[in-house]
Structure 1
Amino acid sequence: MMSAYVLVQLGDVSGWSDVDELHHALHAVSGVKTVHLLAGPTDIMLYVEAADQMGLVNVVAAVRGLKGVRSTDTRIVMPM
């Protein structure tokens, strides 16, 4: 099992209704466990899980394909 935090910057959103729509779309992506709206340079932080590296790639690709997502920055959680 792999887990990661995905930092999301928003692109073409015209108001809170667009953000709310994206919030629901992010929750619907398989592998996305939590969605947090943030203040600051990062707009949204996701916690995601996948069975393996390719699964993680697929989750991030699905997130990047959503309307309103400008960019992502993925931070893989390292086992301790």
Structure 2
Amino acid sequence: MSPNVNRVRVIALYKELHRLGRDYPDASYDFNGRMRRMFERNRHLTDPEDVEKAFKLGEYIKNETLALYSLRKYRALKRMYPEEGA
């Protein structure tokens, strides 16, 4: 892929992770700060394989964070509607 296409993909991923980080439940973890440092550390990657590997890691983090949010919503709903007869 050309560097411009990779740049657009990475910036879009960064924005998505930043938006997800706003709602991260653990304030002491500093999700957005860690995410920013991760992107800064990989800023100078030029090898296409290394860039793709770092991008896949970012996608994995995004998917795991979305799963965490879904689980949090599920648990909140479960608390709101206790089981009958339990």
TM-score (norm 1): 0.32
More strand by share: 1
More helix by percentage: 2
TM-score normalized by structure 2? Answer: 0.31
